Chains A and B, each alone.
Chain A
Amino acid sequence: MPTILQKLAGVATALRQRLRGGDDPNATRIRRRQVLTNKLWKGLPFIRLVLFLVGYLWMLALPSSQFGQRIYIDENALQPAQVHTYWNWNDVHRADRILEDLEQLRDRNATNDEIARYSVGVFEKLGIPARTQRYSFDTLGGAINGTNAYAVMAAPRASGAEAIIISASWLSRTGEGDETLNLRGVAIVLSLAGYLKKYSLWAKDLVFVISDGYLDGMQAFITTYHGLPQANLHTEPLELSSGVVWTAINVDYPGHSFSHLGIFFEGLNGRLPNQDLMNSVGVISRHTGGVPVVVYDDLDPRETPSAPTVVPSWMPEGLKNNGDVQEYAMRAKVISRHVNYQARGAASGVHGLLHQFRIDALTVYAVPATGPHGFYALGKILESSLRTMNNLLERLHASFFFFLLVRPEIFMKIGMYLPSAILVGTSMLFSGLGEWVNAGWLLTSVSLEDEEKSEKARPRSVEKWVSRDRPVLDAVTVMIATHAIGYVFWEAVSRRLAHPAILFLIFAAAPLLVARLPQPTRPGSAPVSAVLKALNLCFTSAVISITAVLNFSLAAALAVFMGIPLTLASPSPRLPSRIGKYALYSILALGWLVFCPEDTGKALWNWEVLRVWFAPFVCVVYVPLVLQSALVCWLPS
């Protein structure tokens, strides 16, 4: 009589037999693997499509109101808005007096030197050591000259090993430095110096910087401060110095009053400041200053009826008033501005130059309006913010540098936005691996007619994979050669050697020379274009995924510009379509040279003066990668 145990054992054996197929386990394993590989291979186009779709839809969904979480302060020492502020109308009056002097200087077209000397005079009257710093940048567009004024107030309670920078540039960031003056910003920094001097609670040195120009002055100051040589910068050495700068706040107040405080935070090369600092200033602005906060200077039309509407006008009326649509439009505007700054590696204000030296910095921008706020509210906000920065005993925590701010009080953590670009990269990786398999294996039909010679047996054909050689070395040579062309292109563009249209023609045609490098396809080996496409896709995918950690906006832009186009590249047998495809890819690679001269100029200025690597990156990485795709279309299949 079988016991329960025996029955169970019987069931287990039967189950095992079903799973293993009963015979040799190795054969079963191979069979299972073959089935799996076949399924994967058959499903590959579908997997790629799904990854692309999810990636791109994810990007589109980022502004949705479903995403994001409320901001919070991580570092306990910051204690934002927990202090009583003493800035009062007396100090506002002093700021007004300074403003009058500045306006006089403006009205009589005072030179840079005079303005800087005036600022130094104000500092010295207060008993704070101050100096000027003359500088000049050599650029291809001519020299940029200016004079900074700076003052170092030694910390009364500490050794001065650490410092905070409070700065205002002579030109406001309005219109990205369109010559609007930042008179009130300068005035409040000067009057704040006198006010802050009265308190003995500072544990860090306070460094006041009135930088000339928009970005150039601060670049001259901060690189000299950190002893970083720059070949095209001639500047006087700094006579006063202080310790390691941890945090900085830059004041921009172009109007005569303001309604909201705008926060600008993007730095050079896509660096962001620590989010804790931004959140603290936001909290202080709302609670201590009573001033509402916005990201950048975009006012929400739902709260400020005078602000321009953000929902596009072609939307049907019903959708225009839908809350979710309005929220989406508002967040999309913020994100697109963020991507615009970060992907280009451009600084959204003077603060952006400081991040490279590990200084957490931001610009508070007084959004011009007819009221109700002025020096009084701004002074309180700055005082309280400086007290918060003064509290710091250690560096702000490392996990707070990766974020996507969509509203002043709502942000996304890295895990919520990063996968979108990575998924597109993964899809390209799979496409590349698929191409790699395609290059090495050819599915051919082999006829099996000679086995049975009877009349009944018609020639049957069986599909069979035949392996072939991959000309890897040829493809790698082509890739290296295109990147070398990219480097030459960069040298030509950065020196502005020729008219953009001529450069476009030369460098769009240059890869055709490279196309002659590979030896003619040997019989039995795959065409170079197939291997080139495989390697191109794999390399691009690596570039996108790795850039995503450093500069998400740039990675997302690369994913948009290269994702689908590079995957679609394929050789074609007919000459006209080959020429057409080649031309299209050349335009994708180099079209910006002809169509966006202004952006090109700005990117080159950013490289020349501020050492932003966006322009060389485009020339040496992006352009060659797309040109390789053009070659994939051009080379014979």
Chain B
Amino acid sequence: MDDPSLLALVAVRVALAFAPVPETFKYDQQLSSPLTAYSRLREGIYLFDHGVDPYSGGSFRHSPLLLSLFSTALPLTRYTSPVLWTAADVLAAWALARIWRLRTGAKYTKRDKQVIALYLFNPYILLPSLALSTSSIENSLTLLSLMFASRGRASASLFVFAILIHISLPSLLLLVPILLLSISRPVSSLTVPHPFAGDPKGALPLLGEFLGYTALLSFASTLVCGNWSWIEKTWGAFITLPDLTPNPGLWWYFFTEMFDHFRPFFLLVFTVHLLIYIAPICIKFQHDMLYAVFLLVGILAVFKPYPTLSDPGLFISMFSLFPETYPYLRHPIVTGLIHLHASLLLPLFNSLWLRQGTGNANFFYASTLVFGMGNGAALLDAVWAGLRVAIGKLDDGYEVVQE
């Protein structure tokens, strides 16, 4: 961060944080979910400070870690909150640039600035951050953990990851590749696939360490709350989907429409469905664990229970780590166009339904489907390009097929 132009980027980002944004931003359903909303966080802190158990109601579902952090060390005010959220974004962008440098093995590259700018000014990341959605904090924790893992500092990585799991349970998907990443190297080997370099057994003690951190943080959380009710309210929410407030993901409408007696079954299906991607992706991309993490972040962006725009934003910004795959993307223009349409349709249909009242829930659901298609298309592009890059440029008259 010694380059003046980098400072300029950060300065612009800070200025944006204090730009006058409409108050409705904080309540926008695309920018913050019930689990990440700033207003709910404030409410929980208020209740906590006044001696009421915030987890006794149904509105506060943030982690006790955030609760204790923001009710003691970092009070949230009109001035501190934008600074904190901007700091989270800058930290994430810095971590992303570090990962990029570690991947290339260079101390300084020309693309550093691009990588940072692509994170700080990605609208999918910027807008939730302006709305003070805690998904920004999730993103920066994800990238920090990845950065430590890339540097081979497994303990730090796993500790940060344990915090991330406390805030957002679905990120558990990334556990296996992060463990494997911390015992391998983050350099790009997409072009030269090979069996996993390290010894996978070396990950077992790390797994134990991770479980230890998680247990420790759970104990701390229980101390903060005084009881175990936070587990059901925070982690439980990701599995039982109690709050059906609309969001840009694919779960809410499905469960709104469902008869109650099918709920447990489909909750199980939806949750387990997320897990089935871990093994195939980690096996197929065992030569490049960072790419496996990237793809799983993409899976989370599409299929997470309570997504905000930050989740696809993280996936899209992480594309900047893998420039070698760009020439092999399958249909980049089509994916880009679907994203363009979806990002115009989402706010439009949301307001037609909830503000203007001339549409209904199906409108917004349709636009979330388009958005899901866009994210899915980006994911498929990434999978294809990641595999295809190994074959390299083809001679005339040759084609690659997938068996």
B356 at interface, CB cutoff 8 A: yes
Q: Would A429 and B337 be within 8 Å (CB), given that A546-B345, A549-B348, A550-B348 are in contact? A: yes
Q: Do A542 and B357 touch across chains, with their CB atoms under 8 A apart?
A: no
Q: Distance in Å from the Cβ of A403 to the closest Cβ of chain B?
A: 11
Give the interface centre of B349, B396, B401 by most chain A CB atoms within 10 Å: B401
Q: Would A542 and B340 be within 8 Å (CB), given that A398-B358, A433-B333 are in contact? A: yes
When chains A and B are docked, how far (Å) is the Cα of A545 from the Cα of B353?
18
- CB neighbours (8 Å) of A433 from chain B are 333-334
- CB neighbours (8 Å) of A399 from chain B are 360
Q: Do B401 and A30 touch across chains, with their CB atoms under 8 A apart?
A: yes
Give the interface centre of B357, B358, B360, B403 by most chain A CB atoms within 10 Å: B358
Q: Do A395 and B333 touch across chains, with their CB atoms under 8 A apart?
A: no
When chains A and B are docked, how far (Å) is the Cα of A402 from the Cα of B349?
14
Within A382-434, the residues touching B (CB, 8 Å) are 395, 398-399, 401-402, 429, 433
Within B339-363, the residues touching A (CB, 8 Å) are 340-341, 344-345, 348-349, 352-353, 355-360
- Of the candidates B334, B344, B356, B396, which one forms a contact with A546 in the assembled complex, judged by CB atoms under 8 Å apart? B344
Q: Distance in Å from the Cβ of A34 to the closest Cβ of chain B?
A: 8
Q: Which residue of A lies closest to B327 (CB)?
A: A467
When chains A and B are docked, how far (Å) is the Cα of A542 from the Cα of B356?
22
- Of the candidates B341, B348, B357, B399, which one forms a contact with A395 in the assembled complex, judged by CB atoms under 8 Å apart? B357
A436 at interface, CB cutoff 8 A: yes
When chains A and B are docked, how far (Å) is the Cα of A619 from the Cα of B348?
20
Contact with B along A458-484 (1 / 0, CB 8 A): 000000100000000000000000000
Contact with A along B373-403 (1 / 0, CB 8 A): 0000000000000000000000010010101
When chains A and B are docked, how far (Å) is the Cα of A290 from the Cα of B334?
57
Q: Would A398 and B401 be within 8 Å (CB), given that A539-B340, A545-B341, A549-B348 are in contact? A: no
Q: Which residue of B lies closest to A24 (CB)?
A: B401
Q: Do B337 and A398 touch across chains, with their CB atoms under 8 A apart?
A: no
A157 at interface, CB cutoff 8 A: no
Q: Do A271 and B358 touch across chains, with their CB atoms under 8 A apart?
A: yes
Q: Which residue of B lies closest to A433 (CB)?
A: B333
- CB neighbours (8 Å) of A30 from chain B are 399, 401
When chains A and B are docked, how far (Å) is the Cα of A271 from the Cα of B352?
11
Contact with B along A301-321 (1 / 0, CB 8 A): 000000000000000000000
Contact with B along A538-552 (1 / 0, CB 8 A): 110010011001100
A358 at interface, CB cutoff 8 A: yes
A97 at interface, CB cutoff 8 A: no
What is the number of residues of chain B that contact chain A, defined by CB distance less than 8 Å? 21
Q: Which residue of B lies closest to A29 (CB)?
A: B401
A66 at interface, CB cutoff 8 A: no
- CB neighbours (8 Å) of B357 from chain A are 358, 395, 398
Q: Do A546 and B348 touch across chains, with their CB atoms under 8 A apart?
A: yes
Q: Which residue of B lies closest to A467 (CB)?
A: B327
What is the number of residues of chain A that contact chain B, defined by CB distance less than 8 Å? 22
- CB neighbours (8 Å) of B340 from chain A are 538-539, 542
Q: Which residue of B lies closest to A358 (CB)?
A: B357
- CB neighbours (8 Å) of A546 from chain B are 341, 344-345, 348
Q: Which residue of A lies closest to B345 (CB)?
A: A546
- CB neighbours (8 Å) of B359 from chain A are 398, 401
Q: Would A398 and B348 be within 8 Å (CB), given that A29-B401, A30-B401, A546-B341 are in contact? A: no
- CB neighbours (8 Å) of B334 from chain A are 433
- CB neighbours (8 Å) of A436 from chain B are 333
A26 at interface, CB cutoff 8 A: yes
Q: Do A538 and B337 touch across chains, with their CB atoms under 8 A apart?
A: yes
- CB neighbours (8 Å) of A26 from chain B are 401, 403
When chains A and B are docked, how far (Å) is the Cα of A549 from the Cα of B349?
9
When chains A and B are docked, how far (Å) is the Cα of A538 from the Cα of B403?
34
Q: Do A271 and B345 touch across chains, with their CB atoms under 8 A apart?
A: no
- Of the candidates A29, A542, A549, A550, which one forms a contact with B337 in the assembled complex, judged by CB atoms under 8 Å apart? A542
Within B208-265, the residues touching A (CB, 8 Å) are none
Q: Do B360 and A398 touch across chains, with their CB atoms under 8 A apart?
A: yes
Q: Would A542 and B341 be within 8 Å (CB), given that A398-B357, A398-B359 are in contact? A: yes
When chains A and B are docked, how far (Å) is the Cα of A506 from the Cα of B151?
55
- CB neighbours (8 Å) of B352 from chain A are 549-550
When chains A and B are docked, how far (Å) is the Cα of A26 from the Cα of B398?
12
Q: Do A542 and B399 touch across chains, with their CB atoms under 8 A apart?
A: no
When chains A and B are docked, how far (Å) is the Cα of A464 from the Cα of B333?
23
- CB neighbours (8 Å) of B360 from chain A are 398-399
Q: Distance in Å from the Cβ of A538 to the closest Cβ of chain B?
A: 6
- CB neighbours (8 Å) of B403 from chain A are 26
Q: Distance in Å from the Cβ of B72 to the closest Cβ of chain A?
A: 37
Q: Distance in Å from the Cβ of B362 to the closest Cβ of chain A?
A: 9
When chains A and B are docked, how far (Å) is the Cα of A215 from the Cα of B403?
68
Q: Which residue of A lies closest to B360 (CB)?
A: A398
Q: Distance in Å from the Cβ of B394 to the closest Cβ of chain A?
A: 11
When chains A and B are docked, how far (Å) is the Cα of A598 from the Cα of B341?
35
Q: Which residue of B lies closest to A272 (CB)?
A: B358
When chains A and B are docked, how far (Å) is the Cα of A272 from the Cα of B357?
11
Q: Distance in Å from the Cβ of B192 to the closest Cβ of chain A?
A: 24
- CB neighbours (8 Å) of B396 from chain A are 464
Q: Distance in Å from the Cβ of A270 to the closest Cβ of chain B?
A: 11
Q: Do A358 and B341 touch across chains, with their CB atoms under 8 A apart?
A: no
Q: Distance in Å from the Cβ of A342 to the closest Cβ of chain B?
A: 13
Q: Which residue of A lies closest to B355 (CB)?
A: A358
Q: Distance in Å from the Cβ of B178 to the closest Cβ of chain A?
A: 33
When chains A and B are docked, how far (Å) is the Cα of A29 from the Cα of B400?
11
Q: Distance in Å from the Cβ of B384 to the closest Cβ of chain A?
A: 15
Q: Do A271 and B399 touch across chains, with their CB atoms under 8 A apart?
A: no
Contact with A along B310-344 (1 / 0, CB 8 A): 00000000000000000000000110010011001
Q: Which residue of A lies closest to B351 (CB)?
A: A550
When chains A and B are docked, how far (Å) is the Cα of A360 from the Cα of B3?
57
- CB neighbours (8 Å) of B358 from chain A are 271-272, 398, 401-402
Give the interface centre of B337, B349, B403 by most chain A CB atoms within 10 Å: B337
Q: Distance in Å from the Cβ of B177 to the closest Cβ of chain A?
A: 31
Q: Which residue of A lies closest to B344 (CB)?
A: A546
- CB neighbours (8 Å) of A272 from chain B are 358
Contact with B along A249-286 (1 / 0, CB 8 A): 00000000000000000000001100000000000000
Sorted from nearest, which 9 A-B pairs have the closest CB atoms?
A: A401-B358, A398-B360, A26-B401, A546-B344, A358-B357, A30-B399, A542-B340, A436-B333, A542-B341
Enumerate chain B interface residues (CB-CB to A < 8 A): 333-334, 337, 340-341, 344-345, 348-349, 352-353, 355-360, 396, 399, 401, 403
29 A-B pairs within 8 Å (CB atoms) are namely: A30-B401, A271-B356, A271-B358, A272-B358, A358-B356, A358-B357, A398-B357, A398-B358, A398-B359, A398-B360, A401-B359, A402-B358, A429-B337, A433-B333, A433-B334, A436-B333, A464-B396, A538-B337, A539-B340, A542-B337, A542-B341, A542-B344, A545-B341, A546-B341, A546-B345, A546-B348, A549-B348, A549-B352, A550-B352
Contacts A358-B357, A429-B337, A549-B349 supplied; 7 other A-B pairs, CB < 8 Å: A271-B356, A398-B358, A538-B333, A538-B337, A542-B337, A542-B344, A550-B352
